[in-house]
Chain A
Amino acid sequence: MEQVADWHSHLFLEAHIVAFVAVANHYSRSPARFDVACDNVTSRWLGKATDFRLEVSWHNDTAKKAKRLRETMQSGPLVELASVAVALILASRVAPLGRLDVTEYGARADYRARKRRPVLEISGTDAPAEFGRRHREKVAQARDNPFGWGACVVVCAFSPAGHRVRFSKHSVQEADHGQREG
Chain B
Amino acid sequence: MAKGRARVSPRQVEELLAKKAAALSKARALTTMGLSETAQPLWANAAAYEERIAALLDANGDDLEAAVHRISAASCYRKAGDASRATNLYRAALAGPLRPITRKEVEEMLTECLALLTATPPPRGGKAHTEPGD
Residues of A within 8 A of B (CB): 10-16, 69, 72-73, 77, 80-81, 100-107, 109, 114, 144, 146-148, 179
Contact = CB atoms under 8 A, between A and B. Distances in A.
Contacts of A102: 21, 24-25, 28
Given A73-B34, A104-B24, A12 B29 contact: yes
Contact of A77 (B34, B69, B98, B105): B34
A101 B72 CA distance: 12
A13 B17 CA distance: 16
A25 B17 CA distance: 34
A10 B29 contact: no
A104 B101 CA distance: 17
The bracket for how many chain B residues form the interface is 20 to 34
Contacts of A16: 29
18 contacts: A10-B21, A10-B22, A11-B22, A12-B26, A14-B29, A15-B29, A15-B33, A69-B33, A72-B34, A73-B33, A102-B24, A105-B105, A106-B109, A109-B25, A114-B17, A146-B71, A146-B102, A147-B64
Contacts of B46: 104
A10 B33 contact: no
B94 interface: no
B115 interface: no
Given A81-B32, A103-B72, A105-B71, A146 B22 contact: no
Interface in B41-99: 46, 50, 64-65, 67-69, 71-72, 75-76, 79, 98-99
A5 to B, nearest CB: 11
B30 interface: yes
B8 interface: no
The DSSP consensus for interface residues of chain A is mixed
Interface in B4-44: 17-18, 21-22, 24-26, 28-30, 32-34
B24 to A, nearest CB: 5
Nearest to B109: A106
Nearest to B42: A12
- Nearest first, the 3 closest Cβ-Cβ pairs linking A and B are A12-B26, A103-B72, A104-B75
Contact of A105 (B17, B18, B75): B75
Given A12-B29, A15-B29, A147-B65, A106 B21 contact: no
B70 to A, nearest CB: 10
A114 B79 CA distance: 25
Nearest to A74: B34
A101 B46 CA distance: 12
The winner among A77, A81, A102, A114 for most chain B CB atoms within 10 A is A102
Nearest to B17: A101
